[in-house]
Amino acid sequence: MRRWVVLFCLLGCLGGWPLLADDLPFDVTMSRGQPYVSLMAVAQAFRANLRVLPADRAVNLQFANQEASISDGTVLTLNRQLIVLSVAPYWRGEELYVPLDAVQKIFYVTVHWRIHTRQVTFSPAASEGPALIPIAR
């Protein structure tokens, strides 16, 4: 009986069964020859808590046990550690676009970029921390 209670509690915490990564592609935007994805769209799919700080042109994000802060520069602050990104993110209107390695580092995922369709999907990284796959709404 206790096993069933634990199982249902875990399912409730996860919000149901996660989808496969290939089921939810994200559009990639190219800028200066580099691929970017909307951080807002990815955060929403991962059900991460995202807070935009318009005055600072920065974003604070919380996901699982991760805390990230990112702005216009090439440095990502992840759990109070500074991580250098391949290229700097950029703003388009009110939306922040980040390089694919930023998503990889924040959410502990492997990136699958389909160059011919300009779409990207994510799957759990093999040896990194716990990753949840985005769930379609």
Residues 102-132 have pLDDT tens digits of: 999 999 898 898 888 888 988 887 754 444 4
Residues 73-111 have pLDDT tens digits of: 999 999 999 999 999 999 998 899 999 999 999 998 988
Residue 68 pLDDT > 90: yes
Alpha helical stretches, state H, 15-52: 39-45
Assigned superfamily of 18-124: Copper amine oxidase-like, N-terminal domain (3.30.457.10)
Rounded distance between C-alpha atoms, residue 84 and residue 29, angstroms: 21
Cut 0.85: pTM above it: no
Are 69 and 60 contacting, i.e. CB atoms less than 8 angstroms apart? yes
3-state SS assignment for residue 104: helix
